[in-house]
Amino acid sequence: MRLGRGTTQRAGSLMELGLGIACVLLVLFIGSFTRVRADLTSERRYTLTPATKELVDSLKDVVFVKVYLAGELPADLQQLAGSLRDLLDEMRVYNPEMLQYEFTDPSASLDEQSRNKAYQQLQESGLQYTSIRTRGKGSRSELIVWPGAILSYRGKTLPLQLLKSQLRATDAEVVNRSINNLEYELASAIRQLTATTRARVAFIEGHGELDGLATKDLHDALAEQYDVDRVRLDGRINALSDRPEDVVYRINKYAAAIVAKPDSLFSEKDRFILDQFIMNGGKVLWAVDAMDPHLDSLRVHQFSMATPLDLGLDNLFFAYGVRINKDLLLDRQCAIIPVFTRPYGDKPKLENLPFPFEPLVMPNGDHPIVANIDPVHLKMASSIDTIGLDSAHSTILLTTSRYTRVMRNPVRISLAVVDMDLGLEQNNTPYRPVAVLTQGKFRSAFADRMAMPDSVLRDIGYREWSRPTAQVVVSDGDALANIVDRTKGMFYPLGYDRTAGAKIFGNREFFINAMNYLLDDKALISIRSRSIQLHQLDPHRVEAGRLPIQVANVLLPILAVLAGGAGFYLLRKRRHGGKQ
């Protein structure tokens, strides 16, 4: 029996189809054993940092992440949930057995009593809810969502708040910022949960330093990673270190200390305690003022005379390669403050005007401490000089802008400066350092000054040369002070601006990065310093063109399929139409 040409063509087509299906199945079979991923985004958005890969790979037991961001969510929070799911999936590639997760909706229950019970449990666990008001046709409703997660590891739990907002509200900018910080927040939480030991950090007290409420935001941020205490020196040699028997030198109780805006003289004993703390490898973050601006007089009389502030620390700084000058800096790149200007009618007029005594420092360097952080807000800052040391070196972290003038002691401070033309374009001293990192080996500031027998020095464990260590010096104590409302007993985030009504400055990130660097947590810095540019849709254009966009999303795929099918049909008809 002889087959026709059409039958032969159909058999050939079926054979091609079979071979195609076989090739697809073979590729799928091979792909089930291997996973190939390619991140084609310009900022490597879906690529983990080496520090995160190492962290996940080192897990010894299961870390379970229960995420409460599910259910009916606005588009922004859906994007946050999707980004977190993508991040968790990417992390599981490197250790799928030891990292597991689950997304759940705490509002899924139809019973109001069950929902309220679940809400209460989440709140007791440390999570905060976000209230979102939505509009329907002629009605309004309130949606309660919990943008957070609970991490569990070996019987321990840790809450992770995904939206870092003091107000229980959300907007696109907050969500985008949260997405940008997802890897850092999750990696930091896993490190905190799985760490077997935590470094200890001490806020020094007893010399008029900022109190607990004024440093509350930084304290809480550091407490997520370290054990943080407040320590009064009071001339006690054992305040920061001990000398066990049969040990030559002292052993520090703390890994780092923070000196936050002291306003009175350090005694000789307290200076010695701090010096020996550094000699034994302790790290110190100094945020100190060189000048007293007498702000009470400025508030009452609209002007004051800033005078040198004697803290007794100059000899210590000089020994460590730093000098904070007795001056104040004027900078055209500055913060805005509310000032009463000319009367308007019967009442003075309150205006927001730039105040050159409060510089906004733009971090431009590539050092990990300042990489990718927002401008740092300073108040009444002084310039810093570095002093060359053979055994240590200094790195300038922050400088003022090109349009800066140094005001030598004594300095007249007046609110009228907001209306003056200071001529900073011509008469200036640009790029004055205001924050310096110094690291290496330091010689004690008390070397050749100790009028004690050698036997006494040995008994107290005196050390003349330090172990390798590091310090950060900032010439403004207010830089790490959060705004406080003492009548209500509350505080605002470090970097919050009253005029803008939001956190817009990078003070918090700067000091956290500085402490991470001092304590050798460079892995956390490498994750935090990542910058992912998120491309936000214009909500007004989306709302105005909602119907055309919806119609296009529905019809265009169907039309594309029909056009492809028609094109394929016409191509086959052209190729085989003339053949019998």
Give pLDDT tens digits for 137-153.
555 667 788 889 999 99
**SS3 of 544-569:** HCHHHHHHHHHHHHHHHHHHHHHHHH
* pLDDT score, position 351: 81
Distance, CA of 533 to CA of 536 (rounded, Å) = 9
In this predicted model, what pLDDT tens digit does every residue of 469-490 receive, in sequence order? 999 999 999 999 999 998 888 9
Q: What is the pLDDT of residue 66?
A: 95
Rounded to 10 degrees, the C-alpha dihedral 273/274/276/280 comes to 130
| Alpha-carbon radius of gyration of the chain | 31
pLDDT at position 317: 97
- Token pair in block for residue 243: 């000398």
Which of 502, 496, 187, 513 is CA-nearest to residue 372?
513
| Alpha-carbon gap, residue 162 to 128, rounded angstroms | 10
- Do 250 and 461 form a contact (C-beta atoms < 8 A)? yes
The pLDDT score that the predictor gives to residue 423 is: 76
pLDDT value of residue 580:
46
The domains located in the chain, with CATH, are 50-191 (3.40.30), 200-518 (no CATH)
pLDDT at position 346 is 60
The secondary structure element, H or E, covering residue 316 is: helix 314-319
Query: What pLDDT digit, counting tens, does each position of 281-325 carry?
Result: 999 999 999 999 988 888 778 888 999 999 999 999 999 999 999
Predicted confidence at residue 508, as pLDDT, reads 93
* One-letter amino acid of 169: A
pLDDT lower than 50: segments of the chain: 40, 166-169, 534-535, 580
Three-state DSSP string of 237-254: CCCCEECCCCCCCCEECC
Nearest to 248, CA basis, from 464, 445, 463? 463
Q: Residue 530: what pLDDT?
A: 57
Specify the pLDDT at position 344.
53
User: What pLDDT score does 312 carry?
Assistant: 95
